[in-house]
A and B are shown apart, each in its own frame.
Chain A
Amino acid sequence: MNKLAAKYLRPSQIPTKACHGCGIGMIENWLLQAIDELGFKQENVIFGTGIGCVGRQTFATWGGDNFGATHGRALAVATGLKLAQPDKKYLIVVGDGDAASIGTSHLIHAARRNLGVTVICEDNMGYESTGGQFSPTTPANYVTNSSPYGMAEPGFDPCDVVKAAGATFVAETTATQWHQTVKIVKKALQNDGFSFVHVRFPCNENFGAYALGTRDTLKNLEWIYEHTQGRKPDGSETDFTWETGIKHDVSNSRPEFSKIMRDMNARVRADMAAKAAAAAGDDKTRDDGHGTH
Chain B
Amino acid sequence: MATLAVSTRDGLVAPWVEWEKRCTDGRRLLEAGTYALTEGAIAARCRVFAGYPITPATDIAEYMSKRLPQVGGYYVQSEDELAGMHACAGASLGGLKAMTATSGPGYTLMHDAYGWSITNEIPMVVVDAMRVGPISGITGAPGQGEFYIARYASHGGNFETIVLSPSSVQEAFWLTIDAFNLAERFRTPVTILTDQVISDMWEDLFIPADYDALDFVIPRKHNLMMPFYPVGSADLDVPPNLIGRGTGVCVSAYTHTEEGYDIEDMAAQWAQTYRLINKIRHHTDQLARYETLGLEDAEVVAVAYGANARTVKTGVLEARRRGVKAGFVRPITLWPFLDELYERDCRYVVCELNYDGQLVREVMRAAPDKKKVHFMGKSAELHTVAEVAAGLEGVARSNRVPELPYIWTEVR
Partner of A65, one of B88, B243, B252: B243
How many of A's residues come within 8 Å of B, CB to CB? 45
Instruction: Known contacts A85-B243, A88-B244; decide if A80 and B98 are in contact (CB<8 Å).
Output: yes
Are B83 and A109 neighbours in the complex by a CB distance under 8 Å? yes
Instruction: Known contacts A64-B248, A76-B86; decide if A106 and B79 are in contact (CB<8 Å).
Output: yes
> B402 in the interface, Cβ–Cβ < 8 Å?
no
Q: Which of B1-39 contact A (CB under 8 A)?
A: 27
Are B86 and A69 neighbours in the complex by a CB distance under 8 Å? yes
| A111 → chain B closest CB, angstroms | 12
| B163 → chain A closest CB, angstroms | 21
Chain B neighbourhood of A84, CB < 8 A = 48, 90-96, 244
> A203 in the interface, Cβ–Cβ < 8 Å?
no
Q: Which of A258-293 contact B (CB under 8 A)?
A: 261, 264-265, 268-269, 272, 293
Instruction: Known contacts A83-B74, A84-B93; decide if A44 and B246 are in contact (CB<8 Å).
Output: yes
Give the CA-CA distance A67 to B27 in the complex, in Å.
43
The closest CB in chain B to the CB of A83 belongs to B74
Stretch at the interface among B184-192, B253-261, B269-277, B382-390: B253-261
Q: Which of B146-174 contact A (CB under 8 A)?
A: none
> A232 in the interface, Cβ–Cβ < 8 Å?
no
The closest CB in chain A to the CB of B247 belongs to A65
Residue pairs across A and B with CB atoms within 8 Å: the count is: 153
Q: Mark A34-78, 1 if CB is under 8 A from B, else 0.
A: 000000011110100001000110011001111111110100111
Chain A neighbourhood of B261, CB < 8 A = 10, 12-13, 59-60
Partner of A85, one of B80, B244, B252, B253: B244
> A79 in the interface, Cβ–Cβ < 8 Å?
yes
Are A43 and B83 neighbours in the complex by a CB distance under 8 Å? no
Are A46 and B70 neighbours in the complex by a CB distance under 8 Å? no
| A199 → chain B closest CB, angstroms | 23
Give the CA-CA distance A63 to B261 in the complex, in Å.
11
Chain A neighbourhood of B248, CB < 8 A = 10, 63-65
Give the CA-CA distance A60 to B253 in the complex, in Å.
11
Are A76 and B246 neighbours in the complex by a CB distance under 8 Å? no
B residues in contact (CB < 8 Å) with A:
27, 48, 50, 69-70, 72-74, 76, 78-80, 82-84, 86-96, 98, 112-113, 115-116, 209, 243-254, 259-262
- Could you show 13 A-B contacts with beta carbons less than 8 Å apart? A60-B262, A67-B252, A68-B254, A77-B86, A78-B90, A79-B86, A80-B91, A81-B93, A82-B90, A82-B94, A84-B92, A109-B79, A269-B69
Q: A67-B252, A80-B76 are in contact. List 15 more A-B contacts (CB 8 A).
A: A10-B248, A43-B246, A55-B253, A59-B261, A60-B250, A60-B260, A60-B262, A69-B116, A76-B82, A79-B76, A82-B90, A84-B244, A85-B243, A105-B80, A293-B209
A residues in contact (CB < 8 Å) with B:
10, 12-13, 41-44, 46, 51, 55-56, 59-60, 63-71, 73, 76-85, 88, 105-106, 108-109, 261, 264-265, 268-269, 272, 293
